[in-house]
Amino acid sequence: MAYRAPAPFPAGVSASPRDQMRQLADALSKKADATLEPVYSAVLLIAPGGATWRLTVNDAGALGTVQVPR
């Protein structure tokens, strides 16, 4: 992912400190929502034949599969 400079934060100078804090909190929340990616320890996949497999990854990046009952 390429580096992208953060967008400037346009805090209203005429706004009260409470409104400025609310604007800042909203901006941070939007940034967190935009960059948050789900993290899973395993993924279950269903093969075309109907078998269910658990896909995992180890610290070296190697993938592993184990068939699991449904």
Domain extents in the chain = 39-70
Give tens-digit pLDDT for 17-59. Answer: 888 888 878 877 776 666 666 777 888 999 999 999 999 989 9
Q: How confident is the model at residue 9 (pLDDT cuts 50, 70, 90)?
A: low
Please give the span between the terminal C-alpha atoms of the chain, in angstroms, as a whole number: 37
Q: Specify whether the CB–CB gap between 67 and 52 falls below 8 A.
A: yes
Q: pTM, whole model, 2 decimals?
A: 0.46
Q: Which parts of 1-70 fold into alpha helices (H)?
A: 17-35
Question: Six-digit token pair at 3?
Answer: 């580096």
Task: Give the burial string for 15-48 (b: 16+ CB within 10 Å, else e).
Answer: eeeeeeeeeeeeeeeeeeeeeeeeeeeeeeeeee
pLDDT for residue 67 is more than 90: yes
Tell me the Cα Rg of the chain.
22
pLDDT in the model for residue 22? 84
